[in-house]
Amino acid sequence: MLLPALLSEISSHDFEVAETLIGVLRFVLIFVAARSLAELLVRFELPTILGELLAGVIIGASGLHLLVPPETQVQLSGVFSNVVGGIAHIPPDEIPEIYNESFGALQAVSNLGLFSLLFLTGLESELEELIAVGAQAFSVAVVGVVLPFALGTLGLMGIFHVDPVQAIFAGASMTATSIGITASVFGELGYLRTREGQIVIGAAVLDDILGIVILAVVVSLAAGGTLEIAPIVQLVVAAVLFVVVALVLSQKAAPAFDWVVDQLKAPGGKLIGSYLLLGASCFIATAIGLEAALGAFAAGLIASTSKHRHEIQAAVTPIVGLFATVFFVLVGAGMDLSVINPSDPSARSALVIAGFMFLVAIVGKVVAGWAVFGPQKTNKLVVGLGMLPRGEVGLIFLGLGTAAKLLSPGLEIAILLMVIGTTFLAPVLLRLVLKDKPPEDGNEVPEEFAADPLAGAS
């Protein structure tokens, strides 16, 4: 351990002071940078999550070197070391070692933010919305997952000779759809209760489920480093059964969950009960060989039909707002943008891969809009564009891949640029296509299926 070695030269008190100062400064830097950029982007009606990611890039390994994950092997800023060392009366050259030793606590907070975000995503899933346009939403979702996944994976392996596990993960990162971004645009333009709006929302929910299942399989496979058929089938079956059980429990287990929550009389009972469910679901998922992220999402699905749903959502949302910020800033902080420096010949391949993934990401989702069938008139281009943004779900994929060390630096940046590009592009294109075009009469879904489709969507 580092601590005994350092204590031989510095006092325990000075070490604790330095560790505390480092922890406080990291959180201050994270929230000041993230909030400043989020406030800027929200004024341009852009997703604040992009501000958090960009904040990490600015203060992280590609920028000021104030927030440096140890695995990047980037030198901590001398200003940071001098400030902390001067206050704690420790030589500045000792600060980076203390910094790296204490970084695990920040990563634990980041994981809490990730699992809370996935729980909230499951909690906000409106499964009943699939009833009105269920078949059409299913066809759009399947095409929107299979097409970009297949084109991305096979293209990366065949054209760019990317390692199979990395190629599969990159392909999986293109399957997601951000419900929140699309829904906010549809809602703003008055298209949320139209047939197109409901198909997109339903398909996006299914995309989250299918994408997270794929993610769980890929991350688990990466641990073994093989692509043998038997383990793949076993993991797929386990993942599908796990989600199916979660969906069944979301319909059947809500009364039991509500009864447990009702027995908790101390303040914060609903929040504690929810996180007990979250912890149990993550534990079970991990115990059967799946990714804990799938367990977090499944826990949200189980709680989505609780009578306390809105109260749970209100309690969990601030935690997500606080700790998920740490997660996304850390994702940005770990990015090494030098791998896409156009003046560096060795970096140009990353830019080419990023361009390929961006094109596949657009084509795969827009074409999915033409998977809608039936006699009803549907604007298929609107459906396809509505499926385009990857947003926070794509960044979750990227964060998990980075944390699991599945990706090369060039592929990390390619996925990042794909997510940013589609997230920025989708709201712009939707506004252009739907501008001054109010929903046509008779194109709205029945009111009983369209009521409150976005309660609490982020």
**Per-residue pLDDT reduced to its tens digit, 98-130:** 888 888 889 889 888 888 888 887 787 666 654
Using DSSP, state whether 439 is helix, strand or coil.
coil
∠ CA(322), CA(327), CA(329), 5° rounding?
A: 95
Name the strand (E) or helix (H) holding 71. Answer: none
What's the pLDDT score for residue 59?
92
pLDDT of residue 442: 42
Cα-Cα-Cα-Cα torsion 204, 208, 213, 218, nearest 10 degrees, comes to: 110
Residue 93 exposed, middle or buried by CB count within 10 Å (0-12, 13-18, 19+): exposed
Per-residue pLDDT reduced to its tens digit, 214-249? 777 777 766 665 556 676 677 677 777 877 787 787
Q: Which CATH architecture has domain 108-450?
A: Up-down Bundle (1.20)
User: What is the structure's pLDDT at 369?
Assistant: 92
What is the per-residue pLDDT for 453?
38
Cα distance between the two ends of the chain = 42
Q: What is the model's pLDDT at position 385?
A: 92
233: Cβ contacts below 8 Å, ≥ 6 apart: none
Domain extent listing, the chain = 2-101, 108-450
One DSSP character per residue, 366-430 reads HHHGGG--SSS---HHHHHHHT---HHHHHHHHHHHHHTT-S-HHHHHHHHHHHHHHHHHHHHHH
Do residues 439 and 198 lie in contact, with contact meaning Cβ atoms separated by under 8 Å? no
Positions of the chain with pLDDT lower than 70, given as ranges: 1-11, 45, 47, 125-133, 179-181, 183-184, 188, 192, 212, 221-229, 231-232, 235, 338-339, 345-346, 391-392, 435-458
pLDDT of residue 132: 60
Q: Which of 233, 217, 200 is nearest to 371 (CA)?
A: 200
Burial 147-181, CB ≥16 within 10 A → b, else e = bbbebbbebbbeebebeebbbbbbbbbbbbbbbbb
Burial class (CB in 10 A: 0-12, 13-18, 19+), 330: buried
